Chains A and B, each alone.
Chain A
Amino acid sequence: MSYDLFLGCVIPARLPFLEASSRKVFEKLGIKLNDVEGFSCCPDPTGIEQIDHTTWLALGARNLSLCRNNGGVISFCSGCVETLKGVNYFINKDLTTKKEINRYLQKVGKVYEGKTEVKHFAEILYENLENIKKNVEKPLEGFKVAVHYGCHYLRPSEIIEWDDPFEPITIDEIVKALGAESVEYDLKMECCGNPVEKSDRDLSLLMIDNKLKAIENAGANCVAVVCPACYQQYEFNQRELNKRNNTEYNLPIFYLSELVGLAFGFFPEEMGLNFHRIKPNELFESIHF
């Protein structure tokens, strides 16, 4: 089984360790990922789409026009997945849009018919759940995980077409398959607040503060995310919140691939867990992992 890999911007250029763990997990599962030359920004559905929908479609369609793999393309980022799925949605929904976008693509010698299948890496992991279970060497005992699905992994459901938009199960199931506990918490389905940082930093911090509070109240000892924007929002802001509000957040944030990797028996260092701002070592010690 193989897929083209769409990396996007945030993961390869800012959080390369998330890429490392993801690649390793896919390799272990025997799923081949092809690197493709010449991708641009996806572009960001919470940024570029908001200022210019047509540009968003054109750049996204250009990216998809570069994919050749029959299995389609996957990404480690929920934003990229939403953009690429969204391009398919809008192009296939309206012939005028398809013609318009292809008129632009023609100027750079490209064409896109809207046929490339797009999937989130967590979709692939869920589809390989049995395979994952077989590969668990070190069950994640003592991990009380607050699963954060994030918005763009699920919604708009008409575009994403995966899992339930309000009562999803897929990531919880993966986390449980690794031997960890998935902790229910208030505000589980709420936004992390990352996209509003561009217009209101205080509001963005308030949103993540509420989520962290709920997660701590529920007794979770770490968080699992599947989107680099959510990852940054959770990881980078705990210190800032502690400074502002005298809180004592110190919650390790794991990418789903990192949790899978740990359960597969990979060493934290080979996945670059040492590059996390909030080091998970304390957690590992406290639960004797």
Chain B
Amino acid sequence: MSVINFDFRNQVIKHNASLSYCYQCSTCSGGCPVALLTNGEYNPRKIIEEAILGLQDKLIEVQDPNPWLCSTCQKCVELCPQKVELTEIFTLIKNKCFEEGKYPEAFHAQGQAVLENGIAIPYSKAVLSRREKLGLPIITTAPIEEIKTLLRQTNFEQNIIKREAE
């Protein structure tokens, strides 16, 4: 049983009003490459439908359909006859999953890397010597303390640490 939660729906609409334009025509799901290959296990229309109904538990707790399967190819956004900003709405839902600590490990690892190094992929010794061989300039990346200060402002650091603790 899913619980209808209009507060949740209103939160989403407040963030992105285009949710309320959806008339459930299923152009998005018919055009989605992932929906096709997962035979509807991932289904953009259904996520939007659940958001319209405010099915918070389905979207955040159960995650059915699994929003992390979206390939962010943006076809649905281009195809939608009502110009619903689907991927922006999916991002909002995934952000809420993140706040709850319910998101795949690979995203967490990337978050940690950015938090620790300022960049997603640290420079290995092998790459640095390869860069030298190719005659490429030395890279000076972001001052890490500055990045950490910024990521504390947006609560990112706290959310990553919270997940680590779990």
Contact = CB atoms under 8 A, between A and B. Distances in A.
Do A and B share a direct contact in the complex (Cβ within 8 angstroms)? yes
A195 interface: yes
Interface residues of B, number: 57
Interface string A66-106: 00000000000000000000000000000000000001110
Interface string A35-49: 101111101111111
A7 B154 CA distance: 24
B66 A199 contact: yes
A156 B78 contact: yes
Given A151-B72, A272-B134, A275-B130, A48 B119 contact: no
Interface string B126-166: 01001100111101111100110111011110010000000
Contacts, number: 174
A16 B134 contact: yes
A13 B143 CA distance: 17
Of the candidates B33, B103, B137, B149, the one having the most CB atoms from chain A within 10 angstroms of its own CB is B33
Given A49-B91, A107-B153, A155 B73 contact: yes
B111 A48 contact: yes
Contacts of B159: 51-52
Interface string A9-22: 11011101101100
Contacts of A62: 150
Contacts of B104: 198-199
A127 B39 CA distance: 41
B118 interface: yes
A206 interface: yes
Contacts of A7: 139
Given A14-B127, A191-B73, A47 B122 contact: no
Given A17-B134, A40-B147, A41-B119, A51 B111 contact: yes
The 9 closest A-B pairs by CB, nearest first: A155-B74, A198-B106, A40-B142, A191-B73, A51-B98, A199-B68, A151-B73, A104-B153, A55-B156
Interface of A: 7, 9-10, 12-14, 16-17, 19-20, 23, 35, 37-41, 43-55, 58-59, 62, 103-105, 107-108, 151-152, 155-157, 165-166, 190-191, 193, 195-200, 203, 206-207, 210, 272, 275
28 contacts: A12-B131, A14-B121, A14-B127, A19-B136, A20-B134, A20-B135, A38-B140, A39-B142, A40-B118, A41-B114, A44-B110, A48-B114, A48-B120, A49-B91, A50-B95, A51-B98, A58-B153, A59-B147, A62-B150, A104-B150, A104-B153, A155-B77, A156-B78, A191-B75, A198-B106, A199-B66, A203-B34, A207-B37
